Amino acid sequence: MEVTRRLKIPRGARVIDIGSGNAPHPRADILCDRDLSGDHERSGPLVRGGRPLVLGEAHRLPFRDRAADYVIASHVVEHATDPLQVVGELQRVGRAGYLECPTPFAEHLLGWRYHRWYVAERDGRLLVAPKTSPDCFAAVFHQLAQSDLQFRAFMLRNPELFFVSLQWVGEVRVERVETIPWRDLALQALQRNRRRNLLATFVPVWLECLWHKVRRACWRLGQRRQAGPSRATRG
């Protein structure tokens, strides 16, 4: 489950989705992924949706400088061997963009064994730290996320608790650290969402989940309508 939010993409902008995988962004003009068949780090088979697909590694993107007005990298950085190099490549290729990753809290709770890094955002900076803790409860909470409406509603009400979402223009301030204070960041996210959660207690869980599905479907339709012709060129 990813964050559904309106990205600040100008109409007619050239958009490249890096690591598009099985869920390419509907606004993307060009998709980029490292291989066609390696699904062990995806949630499903590669999806193209009729759009051009460029094969390439995020550590060395096969695009010229400033090939895109906007680059999207959703759930990519945490997979990287060198996340700072990947972020540098995103800045080289795009004038602006969007990064999304699981929070350290999500990594501790849900866990993905093939993720190499904890990623957090603090004061406009992206922090990355080597992932060290075992995924003790991953199977249990992944099952809850798929089958339990109460838990899904909790995730929908608290997106900042589960996902790092960073829109940037020009550059991304990124720093490698040894540890991330993930407990403090998780508590701060809960505090920010307290008012939203209070109002949500008066809405039936099934209705809340249905509303999020409808809103996401409408958002995806709007993004498709805004998508222009593909103009990115390989470098």
pLDDT (average), residues 33-37: 86
Read off the tokens for 186: 């998780």
pTM of the model: 0.80
- In the predicted structure, residue 46 carries a pLDDT above the cut 50: yes
Q: Which residues contact 188 (CB under 8 A, 6 or more apart)?
A: none
Contact between 52 and 63 under an 8 Å Cβ cutoff? The reply is no
Buried b (16+ CB within 10 A) or exposed e, 39-49: eeebeeebeee
- In the predicted structure, residue 216 carries a pLDDT above the cut 80: no
- What pLDDT digit, counting tens, does each position of 47-67 carry? 998 999 999 999 999 999 999
| Strands, sheet with 125-130, edge to edge from the N-terminal-most edge strand | 117-122, 125-130, 173-176
pLDDT (average), residues 29-34: 95
Residue 158: predicted pLDDT: 87
Q: What is the mean pLDDT of the chain?
A: 84
- In the predicted structure, residue 193 carries a pLDDT above the cut 80: no
- What pLDDT digit, counting tens, does each position of 103-159 carry? 999 999 988 888 999 999 988 899 999 998 777 788 888 888 888 888 888 888 888
| CA separation for the pair 181, 120 (Å, rounded) | 9
| CA separation for the pair 42, 115 (Å, rounded) | 11
| CA separation for the pair 196, 194 (Å, rounded) | 5
Residue 202: predicted pLDDT: 55
Residue 36: predicted pLDDT: 82
* DSSP one-letter code for 100: E
| CA separation for the pair 156, 153 (Å, rounded) | 5
